Chains A and B, each alone.
Chain A
Protein backbone atom coordinates (compact mmCIF):
# COMPACT_ATOMS: atom_id res chain seq x y z
CA UNK A 1 0.00 0.00 0.00
CA UNK A 2 1.46 3.40 -1.01
CA UNK A 3 1.06 6.19 1.48
CA UNK A 4 -0.20 9.48 0.02
CA UNK A 5 2.23 12.30 0.89
CA UNK A 6 -0.40 14.17 2.94
CA UNK A 7 -0.90 11.08 5.09
CA UNK A 8 2.85 10.62 5.59
CA UNK A 9 3.41 14.25 6.62
CA UNK A 10 0.32 14.25 8.83
CA UNK A 11 1.24 10.98 10.52
CA UNK A 12 4.81 12.19 11.10
CA UNK A 13 3.61 15.46 12.71
CA UNK A 14 1.11 13.60 14.86
CA UNK A 15 3.79 11.10 15.92
CA UNK A 16 6.05 13.98 16.99
CA UNK A 17 3.31 15.39 19.23
CA UNK A 18 2.37 12.05 20.75
CA UNK A 19 6.07 11.36 21.28
CA UNK A 20 6.70 14.76 22.90
CA UNK A 21 3.74 14.31 25.24
CA UNK A 22 4.93 10.81 26.20
CA UNK A 23 8.53 11.95 26.62
CA UNK A 24 7.43 14.80 28.93
CA UNK A 25 6.51 12.23 31.59
CA UNK A 26 10.15 11.04 31.67
CA UNK A 27 12.19 14.06 30.65
CA UNK A 28 11.87 17.72 29.76
CA UNK A 29 14.81 20.06 29.02
CA UNK A 30 13.99 22.02 32.18
CA UNK A 31 11.60 21.44 35.11
CA UNK A 32 8.22 23.15 34.59
CA UNK A 33 6.96 23.39 38.16
CA UNK A 34 9.47 25.83 39.63
CA UNK A 35 10.03 29.57 39.15
CA UNK A 36 13.36 31.08 38.16
CA UNK A 37 12.88 34.83 38.14
CA UNK A 38 16.52 35.42 37.11
CA UNK A 39 15.81 33.50 33.90
CA UNK A 40 12.54 35.25 33.05
CA UNK A 41 11.58 36.22 29.49
CA UNK A 42 14.78 34.97 27.90
CA UNK A 43 14.68 35.20 24.12
CA UNK A 44 14.87 32.01 22.06
CA UNK A 45 18.27 30.45 21.45
CA UNK A 46 20.94 29.29 23.86
CA UNK A 47 20.10 26.81 26.58
CA UNK A 48 16.38 27.67 26.40
CA UNK A 49 15.85 26.80 22.77
CA UNK A 50 12.44 28.56 22.57
CA UNK A 51 13.07 31.08 25.35
CA UNK A 52 11.41 31.37 28.77
CA UNK A 53 8.15 32.84 30.11
CA UNK A 54 7.51 35.49 32.79
CA UNK A 55 8.25 32.95 35.55
CA UNK A 56 11.49 31.85 33.89
CA UNK A 57 10.01 28.53 32.83
CA UNK A 58 11.40 26.96 29.65
CA UNK A 59 8.93 27.37 26.76
CA UNK A 60 9.86 24.08 25.07
CA UNK A 61 9.39 22.14 28.32
CA UNK A 62 6.04 23.86 28.91
CA UNK A 63 4.92 23.01 25.39
CA UNK A 64 5.83 19.35 25.92
CA UNK A 65 3.90 19.13 29.17
CA UNK A 66 1.06 21.18 27.66
CA UNK A 67 0.78 18.63 24.86
CA UNK A 68 -0.48 16.13 27.45
CA UNK A 69 -3.39 18.38 28.40
CA UNK A 70 -4.34 19.12 24.80
CA UNK A 71 -4.08 15.54 23.63
CA UNK A 72 -5.82 14.11 26.69
CA UNK A 73 -8.76 16.52 26.49
CA UNK A 74 -9.16 16.05 22.73
CA UNK A 75 -8.82 12.24 22.83
CA UNK A 76 -11.26 11.77 25.69
CA UNK A 77 -13.72 14.18 24.08
CA UNK A 78 -13.57 12.20 20.82
CA UNK A 79 -14.05 8.97 22.80
CA UNK A 80 -17.05 10.53 24.55
CA UNK A 81 -18.55 11.69 21.26
CA UNK A 82 -18.07 8.25 19.69
CA UNK A 83 -19.35 6.33 22.70
CA UNK A 84 -22.52 8.40 22.82
CA UNK A 85 -23.00 9.29 19.15
CA UNK A 86 -22.27 6.05 17.30
CA UNK A 87 -24.83 3.88 19.16
CA UNK A 88 -27.44 6.63 18.68
CA UNK A 89 -26.65 6.83 14.97
CA UNK A 90 -26.79 3.04 14.56
CA UNK A 91 -30.06 2.91 16.50
CA UNK A 92 -31.57 5.65 14.35
CA UNK A 93 -30.49 3.90 11.15
CA UNK A 94 -31.77 0.50 12.34
CA UNK A 95 -35.18 2.01 13.15
CA UNK A 96 -35.27 4.28 10.11
CA UNK A 97 -38.37 6.45 9.87
CA UNK A 98 -39.65 5.42 13.30
CA UNK A 99 -40.32 7.66 16.25
CA UNK A 100 -36.92 6.68 17.74
CA UNK A 101 -35.14 7.82 14.58
CA UNK A 102 -37.05 11.09 14.65
CA UNK A 103 -36.25 11.72 18.31
CA UNK A 104 -32.53 11.01 17.77
CA UNK A 105 -32.36 13.30 14.75
CA UNK A 106 -34.27 16.14 16.40
CA UNK A 107 -32.07 15.75 19.48
CA UNK A 108 -29.08 16.03 17.15
CA UNK A 109 -30.40 19.25 15.66
CA UNK A 110 -30.93 20.62 19.14
CA UNK A 111 -27.35 19.93 20.28
CA UNK A 112 -26.06 21.37 16.99
CA UNK A 113 -27.63 24.68 18.01
CA UNK A 114 -25.20 24.87 20.94
CA UNK A 115 -21.66 25.73 19.80
CA UNK A 116 -18.99 23.99 21.95
CA UNK A 117 -18.07 27.30 23.51
CA UNK A 118 -21.65 28.00 24.53
CA UNK A 119 -21.91 24.54 26.12
CA UNK A 120 -18.67 25.27 27.96
CA UNK A 121 -19.98 28.65 29.14
CA UNK A 122 -23.14 27.03 30.47
CA UNK A 123 -21.30 24.18 32.22
CA UNK A 124 -18.61 26.43 33.66
CA UNK A 125 -21.09 29.02 34.90
CA UNK A 126 -22.77 26.29 36.90
CA UNK A 127 -19.89 24.01 37.94
CA UNK A 128 -16.76 26.23 37.68
CA UNK A 129 -13.80 25.85 35.30
CA UNK A 130 -11.91 22.55 35.02
CA UNK A 131 -10.31 20.34 32.39
CA UNK A 132 -13.16 17.87 32.98
CA UNK A 133 -15.73 20.51 32.00
CA UNK A 134 -13.77 21.24 28.83
CA UNK A 135 -13.87 17.52 27.97
CA UNK A 136 -17.59 17.37 28.71
CA UNK A 137 -18.33 20.44 26.57
CA UNK A 138 -16.28 19.24 23.58
CA UNK A 139 -17.60 15.69 24.03
CA UNK A 140 -21.23 16.87 23.94
CA UNK A 141 -20.39 18.94 20.88
CA UNK A 142 -18.87 15.84 19.19
CA UNK A 143 -21.84 13.58 19.90
CA UNK A 144 -24.25 14.73 17.15
CA UNK A 145 -21.38 14.75 14.65
CA UNK A 146 -20.72 11.04 15.19
CA UNK A 147 -24.44 10.26 15.39
CA UNK A 148 -25.03 11.92 12.03
CA UNK A 149 -22.04 10.33 10.30
CA UNK A 150 -22.81 6.82 11.55
CA UNK A 151 -26.52 7.12 10.76
CA UNK A 152 -25.83 8.31 7.23
CA UNK A 153 -23.32 5.57 6.49
CA UNK A 154 -25.41 2.89 8.19
CA UNK A 155 -28.52 3.84 6.19
CA UNK A 156 -26.60 3.18 2.98
CA UNK A 157 -25.44 -0.22 4.29
CA UNK A 158 -28.93 -1.30 5.40
CA UNK A 159 -30.03 -1.43 1.74
CA UNK A 160 -27.24 -3.83 0.74
CA UNK A 161 -27.88 -7.48 -0.01
CA UNK A 162 -25.70 -9.02 2.66
CA UNK A 163 -27.54 -7.08 5.35
CA UNK A 164 -30.87 -8.21 3.87
CA UNK A 165 -29.51 -11.76 3.87
CA UNK A 166 -28.58 -11.49 7.54
CA UNK A 167 -32.11 -10.29 8.26
CA UNK A 168 -33.60 -13.22 6.39
CA UNK A 169 -31.29 -15.53 8.34
CA UNK A 170 -33.07 -14.29 11.45
CA UNK A 171 -30.52 -11.94 12.98
CA UNK A 172 -32.00 -9.10 14.99
CA UNK A 173 -31.43 -5.45 14.16
CA UNK A 174 -29.13 -4.89 17.12
CA UNK A 175 -26.95 -7.86 16.16
CA UNK A 176 -26.78 -6.79 12.52
CA UNK A 177 -25.81 -3.26 13.61
CA UNK A 178 -22.98 -4.63 15.73
CA UNK A 179 -21.72 -7.44 13.51
CA UNK A 180 -22.25 -6.09 10.00
CA UNK A 181 -22.82 -2.34 10.07
CA UNK A 182 -20.31 -1.19 12.68
CA UNK A 183 -17.23 -2.93 11.16
CA UNK A 184 -18.10 -1.45 7.79
CA UNK A 185 -18.39 2.12 9.01
CA UNK A 186 -15.26 1.88 11.19
CA UNK A 187 -13.06 3.48 8.50
CA UNK A 188 -15.37 6.42 8.27
CA UNK A 189 -15.49 6.81 12.04
CA UNK A 190 -11.69 6.83 12.23
CA UNK A 191 -11.53 9.58 9.60
CA UNK A 192 -14.20 11.62 11.41
CA UNK A 193 -12.43 10.90 14.69
CA UNK A 194 -9.23 12.43 13.31
CA UNK A 195 -11.10 15.56 12.24
CA UNK A 196 -12.87 15.88 15.61
CA UNK A 197 -9.52 15.29 17.32
CA UNK A 198 -8.02 18.32 15.58
CA UNK A 199 -11.15 20.40 16.27
CA UNK A 200 -10.88 19.26 19.90
CA UNK A 201 -7.32 20.57 20.15
CA UNK A 202 -8.44 23.94 18.78
CA UNK A 203 -11.43 24.00 21.13
CA UNK A 204 -9.36 23.04 24.17
CA UNK A 205 -6.86 25.79 23.38
CA UNK A 206 -9.67 28.34 22.99
CA UNK A 207 -11.41 27.27 26.22
CA UNK A 208 -8.17 27.33 28.22
CA UNK A 209 -7.34 30.69 26.68
CA UNK A 210 -10.53 32.28 28.01
CA UNK A 211 -10.24 30.47 31.34
CA UNK A 212 -12.95 27.86 30.81
CA UNK A 213 -10.55 24.91 30.51
CA UNK A 214 -7.35 23.80 32.20
CA UNK A 215 -7.17 25.40 35.67
CA UNK A 216 -4.37 27.71 36.76
CA UNK A 217 -1.12 25.82 37.20
CA UNK A 218 -1.88 23.16 34.58
CA UNK A 219 0.41 23.75 31.59
CA UNK A 220 -1.74 24.04 28.50
CA UNK A 221 -1.17 25.64 25.11
CA UNK A 222 -4.22 27.87 25.38
CA UNK A 223 -3.28 29.00 28.88
CA UNK A 224 0.27 29.80 27.73
CA UNK A 225 -1.22 32.07 25.07
CA UNK A 226 -3.47 33.76 27.63
CA UNK A 227 -0.45 34.48 29.82
CA UNK A 228 1.61 35.63 26.85
CA UNK A 229 -1.00 38.18 25.83
CA UNK A 230 -0.06 40.79 28.41
CA UNK A 231 3.63 40.58 27.49
CA UNK A 232 3.30 40.29 23.77
CA UNK A 233 5.09 43.59 23.06
CA UNK A 234 7.89 42.72 25.48
CA UNK A 235 8.42 39.06 24.62
CA UNK A 236 6.68 38.07 21.37
CA UNK A 237 8.21 34.59 21.48
CA UNK A 238 5.98 33.66 24.43
CA UNK A 239 2.99 34.06 22.10
CA UNK A 240 4.50 32.86 18.84
CA UNK A 241 5.68 29.36 19.82
CA UNK A 242 2.56 28.02 21.58
CA UNK A 243 0.47 29.21 18.62
CA UNK A 244 2.80 27.60 16.09
CA UNK A 245 2.63 24.39 18.10
CA UNK A 246 -1.18 24.38 17.92
CA UNK A 247 -1.06 25.08 14.17
CA UNK A 248 1.37 22.21 13.53
CA UNK A 249 -0.59 19.76 15.70
CA UNK A 250 -3.89 20.63 14.02
CA UNK A 251 -2.33 20.67 10.55
CA UNK A 252 -0.81 17.22 11.15
CA UNK A 253 -4.14 15.74 12.22
CA UNK A 254 -6.02 17.36 9.35
CA UNK A 255 -3.51 16.08 6.78
CA UNK A 256 -3.71 12.64 8.35
CA UNK A 257 -7.52 12.74 8.25
CA UNK A 258 -7.53 13.77 4.58
CA UNK A 259 -4.99 11.08 3.74
CA UNK A 260 -6.96 8.40 5.57
CA UNK A 261 -10.13 9.45 3.78
CA UNK A 262 -8.44 9.07 0.42
CA UNK A 263 -7.21 5.62 1.41
CA UNK A 264 -10.59 4.34 2.56
CA UNK A 265 -13.23 3.06 0.22
CA UNK A 266 -14.32 5.79 -2.20
CA UNK A 267 -17.86 4.38 -2.13
CA UNK A 268 -18.03 5.30 1.55
CA UNK A 269 -16.78 8.77 0.79
CA UNK A 270 -20.11 9.43 -0.92
CA UNK A 271 -21.99 8.47 2.21
CA UNK A 272 -20.42 11.28 4.16
Chain B
Protein backbone atom coordinates (compact mmCIF):
# COMPACT_ATOMS: atom_id res chain seq x y z
CA UNK B 1 0.00 0.00 0.00
CA UNK B 2 2.84 2.37 0.88
CA UNK B 3 4.64 1.72 -2.41
CA UNK B 4 1.42 2.26 -4.30
CA UNK B 5 0.78 5.53 -2.47
CA UNK B 6 4.33 6.71 -3.19
CA UNK B 7 4.09 5.96 -6.90
CA UNK B 8 0.76 7.81 -7.04
CA UNK B 9 2.37 10.69 -5.19
CA UNK B 10 5.13 10.93 -7.80
CA UNK B 11 2.59 11.05 -10.61
CA UNK B 12 0.63 13.66 -8.67
CA UNK B 13 3.75 15.83 -8.58
CA UNK B 14 4.47 15.31 -12.29
CA UNK B 15 0.86 16.19 -13.22
CA UNK B 16 1.07 19.39 -11.21
CA UNK B 17 4.33 20.41 -12.90
CA UNK B 18 2.87 19.71 -16.35
CA UNK B 19 -0.36 21.58 -15.58
CA UNK B 20 1.51 24.60 -14.22
CA UNK B 21 3.68 24.68 -17.36
CA UNK B 22 0.58 24.67 -19.59
CA UNK B 23 -1.12 27.45 -17.62
CA UNK B 24 2.04 29.53 -17.49
CA UNK B 25 2.55 29.07 -21.23
CA UNK B 26 -1.01 30.05 -22.15
CA UNK B 27 -1.12 33.14 -19.93
CA UNK B 28 2.40 34.46 -20.24
CA UNK B 29 3.79 33.28 -23.54
CA UNK B 30 1.09 32.86 -26.16
CA UNK B 31 -0.58 36.26 -26.44
CA UNK B 32 2.47 38.50 -26.27
CA UNK B 33 2.90 41.06 -23.52
CA UNK B 34 0.61 40.54 -20.49
CA UNK B 35 1.38 44.04 -19.23
CA UNK B 36 0.15 45.64 -22.47
CA UNK B 37 -2.90 43.36 -22.41
CA UNK B 38 -3.76 44.24 -18.82
CA UNK B 39 -3.51 47.98 -19.42
CA UNK B 40 -5.56 47.93 -22.61
CA UNK B 41 -4.94 49.51 -25.99
CA UNK B 42 -4.58 53.13 -24.96
CA UNK B 43 -1.79 52.68 -22.42
CA UNK B 44 1.29 54.85 -22.64
CA UNK B 45 4.51 52.95 -23.36
CA UNK B 46 6.18 54.01 -20.11
CA UNK B 47 3.15 52.85 -18.08
CA UNK B 48 3.45 49.46 -19.77
CA UNK B 49 7.18 49.40 -19.04
CA UNK B 50 6.52 50.26 -15.38
CA UNK B 51 3.97 47.46 -15.04
CA UNK B 52 6.36 45.05 -16.76
CA UNK B 53 8.95 45.82 -14.12
CA UNK B 54 6.39 45.53 -11.33
CA UNK B 55 5.25 42.10 -12.60
CA UNK B 56 8.83 40.99 -13.09
CA UNK B 57 8.21 40.46 -16.80
CA UNK B 58 11.67 41.73 -17.74
CA UNK B 59 13.26 38.54 -16.37
CA UNK B 60 13.89 35.50 -18.58
CA UNK B 61 11.01 33.02 -19.02
CA UNK B 62 12.46 30.12 -16.97
CA UNK B 63 13.28 32.53 -14.14
CA UNK B 64 9.72 33.87 -14.19
CA UNK B 65 8.25 30.38 -14.22
CA UNK B 66 10.38 29.28 -11.29
CA UNK B 67 9.53 32.48 -9.45
CA UNK B 68 5.81 31.86 -9.97
CA UNK B 69 5.96 28.22 -8.86
CA UNK B 70 8.18 28.76 -5.82
CA UNK B 71 6.01 31.71 -4.84
CA UNK B 72 2.89 29.54 -4.97
CA UNK B 73 4.58 26.81 -2.93
CA UNK B 74 5.25 29.42 -0.26
CA UNK B 75 1.64 30.64 -0.45
CA UNK B 76 2.54 33.78 -2.40
CA UNK B 77 0.38 34.04 -5.52
CA UNK B 78 1.44 37.58 -6.40
CA UNK B 79 -0.40 40.87 -6.08
CA UNK B 80 -3.76 41.33 -7.78
CA UNK B 81 -3.47 43.98 -10.45
CA UNK B 82 -6.93 45.49 -9.88
CA UNK B 83 -7.49 44.87 -6.18
CA UNK B 84 -3.92 45.73 -5.14
CA UNK B 85 -3.96 43.04 -2.45
CA UNK B 86 -2.18 39.68 -2.38
CA UNK B 87 -4.01 37.16 -4.58
CA UNK B 88 -3.63 34.57 -1.81
CA UNK B 89 -5.84 36.69 0.48
CA UNK B 90 -8.49 37.14 -2.20
CA UNK B 91 -8.52 33.45 -3.02
CA UNK B 92 -8.57 32.34 0.63
CA UNK B 93 -11.62 34.52 1.33
CA UNK B 94 -13.46 33.17 -1.74
CA UNK B 95 -12.55 29.56 -0.97
CA UNK B 96 -14.54 29.97 2.24
CA UNK B 97 -17.63 30.03 0.03
CA UNK B 98 -16.70 27.76 -2.89
CA UNK B 99 -15.28 24.86 -0.92
CA UNK B 100 -18.20 24.49 1.53
CA UNK B 101 -20.56 24.72 -1.46
CA UNK B 102 -18.77 21.90 -3.32
CA UNK B 103 -18.64 19.69 -0.22
CA UNK B 104 -22.29 20.40 0.63
CA UNK B 105 -23.30 19.49 -2.93
CA UNK B 106 -21.16 16.35 -2.92
CA UNK B 107 -22.73 15.15 0.35
CA UNK B 108 -26.23 15.94 -0.92
CA UNK B 109 -25.73 14.15 -4.23
CA UNK B 110 -24.36 11.07 -2.45
CA UNK B 111 -27.18 11.13 0.09
CA UNK B 112 -29.74 11.26 -2.72
CA UNK B 113 -28.06 8.85 -5.13
CA UNK B 114 -27.29 5.99 -2.72
CA UNK B 115 -30.87 5.10 -1.69
CA UNK B 116 -32.21 5.80 -5.18
CA UNK B 117 -29.58 3.61 -6.87
CA UNK B 118 -30.09 0.84 -4.30
CA UNK B 119 -33.85 0.99 -4.75
CA UNK B 120 -33.59 0.77 -8.55
CA UNK B 121 -31.17 -2.17 -8.36
CA UNK B 122 -33.30 -4.01 -5.79
CA UNK B 123 -36.46 -3.52 -7.86
CA UNK B 124 -34.71 -4.13 -11.17
CA UNK B 125 -37.13 -4.19 -14.10
CA UNK B 126 -40.12 -3.11 -12.02
CA UNK B 127 -42.01 0.17 -11.84
CA UNK B 128 -39.69 1.76 -9.25
CA UNK B 129 -36.65 0.96 -11.39
CA UNK B 130 -38.34 2.29 -14.49
CA UNK B 131 -39.26 5.49 -12.66
CA UNK B 132 -35.71 5.98 -11.39
CA UNK B 133 -34.25 5.43 -14.86
CA UNK B 134 -36.66 7.91 -16.47
CA UNK B 135 -36.14 10.47 -13.71
CA UNK B 136 -32.36 10.23 -13.85
CA UNK B 137 -32.35 10.42 -17.66
CA UNK B 138 -34.17 13.72 -17.25
CA UNK B 139 -31.85 14.83 -14.43
CA UNK B 140 -28.79 14.38 -16.62
CA UNK B 141 -30.28 16.62 -19.32
CA UNK B 142 -31.06 19.53 -16.99
CA UNK B 143 -28.45 22.34 -17.00
CA UNK B 144 -27.68 23.03 -13.34
CA UNK B 145 -27.78 26.82 -13.71
CA UNK B 146 -31.27 26.65 -15.21
CA UNK B 147 -32.38 24.32 -12.44
CA UNK B 148 -30.96 26.89 -10.03
CA UNK B 149 -33.10 29.60 -11.65
CA UNK B 150 -36.20 27.43 -11.28
CA UNK B 151 -35.35 26.85 -7.61
CA UNK B 152 -35.09 30.61 -7.12
CA UNK B 153 -38.42 31.08 -8.86
CA UNK B 154 -40.21 28.52 -6.68
CA UNK B 155 -38.48 28.67 -3.30
CA UNK B 156 -37.30 32.27 -3.16
CA UNK B 157 -39.81 34.25 -5.20
CA UNK B 158 -43.04 32.26 -4.80
CA UNK B 159 -42.67 30.54 -1.43
CA UNK B 160 -40.11 32.93 0.10
CA UNK B 161 -38.45 30.12 2.06
CA UNK B 162 -34.96 31.15 1.00
CA UNK B 163 -33.23 34.32 -0.13
CA UNK B 164 -32.75 34.57 -3.91
CA UNK B 165 -29.02 35.04 -3.46
CA UNK B 166 -26.21 36.53 -1.45
CA UNK B 167 -24.07 35.21 1.35
CA UNK B 168 -24.06 36.58 4.92
CA UNK B 169 -20.44 35.60 5.67
CA UNK B 170 -19.21 33.05 8.20
CA UNK B 171 -19.02 35.59 11.03
CA UNK B 172 -22.86 35.60 10.94
CA UNK B 173 -22.86 32.03 12.21
CA UNK B 174 -23.35 28.60 10.69
CA UNK B 175 -27.11 28.48 10.15
CA UNK B 176 -27.69 31.59 7.95
CA UNK B 177 -24.79 30.54 5.72
CA UNK B 178 -25.94 26.97 5.46
CA UNK B 179 -29.33 28.31 4.48
CA UNK B 180 -27.79 30.60 1.86
CA UNK B 181 -25.86 27.67 0.38
CA UNK B 182 -28.81 25.26 0.36
CA UNK B 183 -30.46 26.21 -2.95
CA UNK B 184 -27.10 26.44 -4.77
CA UNK B 185 -26.05 23.07 -3.35
CA UNK B 186 -29.34 21.43 -4.37
CA UNK B 187 -29.00 22.87 -7.88
CA UNK B 188 -25.48 21.47 -8.14
CA UNK B 189 -26.30 18.15 -6.51
CA UNK B 190 -29.40 16.93 -8.31
CA UNK B 191 -27.95 16.52 -11.84
CA UNK B 192 -24.88 14.87 -10.29
CA UNK B 193 -27.07 12.62 -8.16
CA UNK B 194 -28.82 11.43 -11.33
CA UNK B 195 -25.52 10.31 -12.84
CA UNK B 196 -24.35 8.74 -9.59
CA UNK B 197 -27.61 6.82 -9.07
CA UNK B 198 -27.39 5.35 -12.59
CA UNK B 199 -23.78 4.28 -12.09
CA UNK B 200 -24.57 2.73 -8.71
CA UNK B 201 -27.58 0.89 -10.15
CA UNK B 202 -25.67 -0.63 -13.06
CA UNK B 203 -22.67 -1.50 -10.86
CA UNK B 204 -24.97 -3.21 -8.34
CA UNK B 205 -26.81 -5.12 -11.07
CA UNK B 206 -23.50 -6.29 -12.49
CA UNK B 207 -22.21 -7.50 -9.11
CA UNK B 208 -25.54 -9.16 -8.29
CA UNK B 209 -24.90 -11.47 -11.26
CA UNK B 210 -21.57 -12.64 -9.81
CA UNK B 211 -21.03 -16.16 -8.48
CA UNK B 212 -20.25 -15.04 -4.93
CA UNK B 213 -23.66 -13.42 -4.68
CA UNK B 214 -25.24 -16.70 -5.78
CA UNK B 215 -23.19 -18.41 -3.06
CA UNK B 216 -24.38 -15.88 -0.50
CA UNK B 217 -27.97 -16.44 -1.59
CA UNK B 218 -27.44 -20.23 -1.47
CA UNK B 219 -26.21 -20.07 2.11
CA UNK B 220 -29.49 -18.38 3.02
CA UNK B 221 -29.05 -14.62 2.69
CA UNK B 222 -32.09 -12.75 1.41
CA UNK B 223 -31.76 -10.67 -1.73
CA UNK B 224 -31.67 -7.51 0.33
CA UNK B 225 -29.00 -8.86 2.70
CA UNK B 226 -26.83 -9.96 -0.22
CA UNK B 227 -27.26 -6.56 -1.83
CA UNK B 228 -26.25 -4.63 1.28
CA UNK B 229 -23.62 -7.00 2.68
CA UNK B 230 -21.78 -8.05 -0.48
CA UNK B 231 -22.83 -6.25 -3.64
CA UNK B 232 -22.68 -2.70 -2.30
CA UNK B 233 -19.04 -2.85 -1.31
CA UNK B 234 -18.04 -4.35 -4.64
CA UNK B 235 -20.07 -1.80 -6.54
CA UNK B 236 -18.15 1.00 -4.82
CA UNK B 237 -15.29 1.07 -7.37
CA UNK B 238 -17.25 2.62 -10.25
CA UNK B 239 -19.11 4.78 -7.74
CA UNK B 240 -15.81 6.13 -6.37
CA UNK B 241 -14.61 6.82 -9.92
CA UNK B 242 -17.70 8.87 -10.61
CA UNK B 243 -17.48 10.65 -7.24
CA UNK B 244 -13.90 11.62 -8.08
CA UNK B 245 -14.88 12.84 -11.53
CA UNK B 246 -17.86 14.65 -10.09
CA UNK B 247 -15.71 16.75 -7.87
CA UNK B 248 -14.25 18.49 -10.90
CA UNK B 249 -17.76 18.96 -12.29
CA UNK B 250 -18.85 20.37 -8.94
CA UNK B 251 -15.99 22.85 -8.98
CA UNK B 252 -16.76 23.92 -12.54
CA UNK B 253 -20.51 23.86 -11.92
CA UNK B 254 -20.05 25.79 -8.70
CA UNK B 255 -18.33 28.59 -10.59
CA UNK B 256 -21.47 28.97 -12.72
CA UNK B 257 -23.96 28.47 -9.91
CA UNK B 258 -22.23 31.19 -7.87
CA UNK B 259 -23.27 33.58 -10.61
CA UNK B 260 -26.93 32.61 -10.30
CA UNK B 261 -26.99 33.25 -6.55
CA UNK B 262 -24.49 36.13 -6.40
CA UNK B 263 -22.26 34.16 -4.04
CA UNK B 264 -18.85 35.75 -3.44
CA UNK B 265 -16.88 32.62 -4.36
CA UNK B 266 -14.03 31.77 -6.70
CA UNK B 267 -16.39 31.86 -9.68
CA UNK B 268 -17.34 35.49 -9.25
CA UNK B 269 -13.73 36.36 -8.53
CA UNK B 270 -12.52 34.78 -11.74
CA UNK B 271 -15.22 36.35 -13.94
CA UNK B 272 -14.51 39.78 -12.48
CA UNK B 273 -10.82 39.16 -13.07
CA UNK B 274 -11.51 38.27 -16.71
CA UNK B 275 -13.46 41.47 -17.39
CA UNK B 276 -10.82 43.52 -15.56
CA UNK B 277 -7.98 41.72 -17.37
CA UNK B 278 -6.47 40.76 -14.04
CA UNK B 279 -4.40 37.90 -15.48
CA UNK B 280 -2.56 37.21 -12.22
CA UNK B 281 -5.81 36.36 -10.48
CA UNK B 282 -7.02 34.24 -13.43
CA UNK B 283 -3.74 32.34 -13.52
CA UNK B 284 -3.82 31.61 -9.79
CA UNK B 285 -7.48 30.57 -9.66
CA UNK B 286 -7.11 28.28 -12.69
CA UNK B 287 -4.02 26.69 -11.15
CA UNK B 288 -5.93 26.19 -7.91
CA UNK B 289 -8.91 24.57 -9.68
CA UNK B 290 -6.65 22.24 -11.65
CA UNK B 291 -4.74 21.43 -8.46
CA UNK B 292 -8.04 20.49 -6.80
CA UNK B 293 -8.97 18.18 -9.68
CA UNK B 294 -5.56 16.48 -9.70
CA UNK B 295 -5.58 16.12 -5.91
CA UNK B 296 -9.02 14.52 -5.96
CA UNK B 297 -7.90 12.08 -8.69
CA UNK B 298 -4.99 11.13 -6.44
CA UNK B 299 -7.25 10.64 -3.43
CA UNK B 300 -9.67 8.58 -5.56
CA UNK B 301 -6.80 6.30 -6.59
CA UNK B 302 -5.88 5.79 -2.93
CA UNK B 303 -9.52 5.13 -2.06
CA UNK B 304 -9.69 2.42 -4.77
CA UNK B 305 -6.67 0.73 -3.31
CA UNK B 306 -8.23 0.83 0.13
CA UNK B 307 -11.46 -0.70 -1.16
CA UNK B 308 -9.92 -3.21 -3.56
CA UNK B 309 -6.49 -4.66 -2.66
CA UNK B 310 -6.11 -6.07 -6.21
CA UNK B 311 -5.67 -2.55 -7.56
CA UNK B 312 -2.63 -1.84 -5.38
CA UNK B 313 -0.40 -3.84 -7.69
CA UNK B 314 -1.20 -1.67 -10.69
CA UNK B 315 1.33 0.96 -9.60
- A residues contacting B by CB (< 8 A) are 106, 109-110, 113-118, 121-127, 198, 202, 205-206, 209-212, 225, 228-229, 232-233, 236, 239-240, 242-243, 246-248, 250-251, 254-255
Contact = CB atoms under 8 A, between A and B. Distances in A.
B252 A118 contact: yes
Given A114-B290, A117-B252, A118-B286, A228 B271 contact: no
Interface in B23-71: 23, 26-27, 30-31, 37
A118 B153 CA distance: 28
Contact of B256 (A122, A210, A243): A210
Given A124-B274, A211-B271, A118 B289 contact: yes
Given A117-B252, A210-B271, A125 B293 contact: no
B145 A247 contact: no
Interface centre among A109, A117, A123, A125 (most CB of B within 10 A): A125
B293 A239 contact: no
Interface residues of B, number: 47
Given A118-B289, A254-B137, A254-B140, A229 B294 contact: no
Contacts of B256: 117, 206, 209-210
B143 A122 contact: no
Interface string B129-165: 0000000011011110111011011000100000000
A233 B156 CA distance: 10
B183 interface: no
A239 B146 contact: yes
Contacts of B152: 232
Contact of A113 (B19, B138, B140, B147): B19
Contacts of A255: 137
B274 A113 contact: no
Chain A CB within 10 Å, residue with most, of B37, B249, B256, B259? B256
A122 B252 contact: no
Given A212-B274, A232-B152, A246-B146, 13 more contacts: A106-B14, A110-B19, A114-B19, A116-B252, A121-B255, A121-B286, A125-B27, A206-B256, A210-B256, A211-B271, A225-B145, A239-B149, A242-B146
A254 B195 CA distance: 13
Interface of B: 14-15, 18-19, 22-23, 26-27, 30-31, 37, 137-138, 140-143, 145-147, 149-150, 152-153, 157, 248-249, 251-252, 255-256, 259-260, 270-271, 273-274, 277, 279, 282, 285-286, 289-290, 293-294, 297
B153 A247 contact: no
B251 A250 contact: no
B27 A122 contact: yes
B146 A125 contact: no
B104 to A, nearest CB: 19
A251 B137 contact: yes
A74 to B, nearest CB: 13
Contacts of A114: 19, 22, 290, 293
Contacts of B251: 115
Contacts of A116: 252
A232 B146 contact: no
Contact of A121 (B138, B147, B282): B282
A110 B22 contact: yes
Contacts of A248: 141
A127 B31 contact: yes
Given A109-B15, A229-B260, A243-B149, A121 B141 contact: no
Given A210-B256, A210-B271, A236-B153, A113 B297 contact: yes
A126 B141 contact: no
A255 B256 CA distance: 26
